[in-house]
Amino acid sequence: MALLDIVTNNLPDGQVTQVCIGLHWTAVVVENDSGRSCGLATTLIPSGEHHGSADVPDAGSLTNKSAHEIIQTFGNVSQVMNSVAIATINAVLPQTPSLWVDINAEDIIEKNGKEKKVVIVGSFPFVDRLREKVGQLVVIEKTPKPGEIPAERAPEFIPSADVVAITGMTIINQTFEALFNLCSPKATVLVLGPSTPLCPALFNHGLHLLSGSIVTNIDPVVKAVGQGANFRQLHKIGVRLVTMSAQ
């Protein structure tokens, strides 16, 4: 499944009016016939090299571009621009409030994981709470902490899992497809985190649940992103956590 091909099929365009690449999050604001909207994505921090190729070649003029122009940079420039592209996608995706439920990913995983084997790709703050609520819990992480499994061992754990929850950040770093292809056809598969595209078409391609975010208070959120806010701060300022499920 080429997730981005599905998500960007017939995607509306619009004028990019703000791009804010913050310490933890990237926010992009787009205006089109549907109004003004904002999308978020995890900021993938570059290597720290200040004198090599630019991570954002058009820095200072991104707001001269359309949403489609930004999105087309995905996979061709840098991981920072991948973050900008995913935030742009999340800004222009048509919103479907009738499909949103105000349930966060932790509760969804708990509900689906009782007495089952759960694999979470990505380290989330609710992991310790979940360990006592599901049958078995494995956390796979690119930079693992004690008790977590390194990403290269994913093929040992994902195929036997009953529930697989994959962070949306894997879309940005282009590891999502490889992880998804490891999932058993019988597994319940969830994508979670603010980078997750809330696109119902994904339910036709093997995904069961999407837990993402909607920016409800654009200007304060963009301002906070630019000042290094973490997600807990953004949530309080004006970000709604929602889940969509296959009907």
pLDDT digits (tens, 9 = 90+) for 88-137: 999 999 999 999 999 989 999 999 999 999 999 998 989 999 998 999 99
Residue 48's pLDDT is what?
Answer: 65
Look up residue 4 and give its two tokens: 């981005």
**Residue 1's pLDDT band (cuts 50, 70, 90):** low
Residue 47's pLDDT is what?
Answer: 63
Q: What is the value of pTM for the model shown?
A: 0.94
Range 145-160 burial, b when 16+ CB lie within 10 A, else e: eeebbebeebeebbee
Domains and CATH numbers, the chain: 3-95+214-241 (3.30.390.100), 99-213 (3.40.50.11590)
Q: Give residues with Cβ within 8 angstroms of 180, minimum separation 6.
A: 1, 3, 166, 189, 206
Residue 54's pLDDT is what?
Answer: 86
Angle, alpha carbons 171-177-182 (nearest 5°): 130
Look up residue 108 and give its two tokens: 């969804």
Look over the chain and give the mean of its residue pLDDT values, rounded to a whole number.
94
pLDDT digits (tens, 9 = 90+) for 126-173: 999 999 899 999 999 998 989 899 999 999 999 999 999 999 999 999
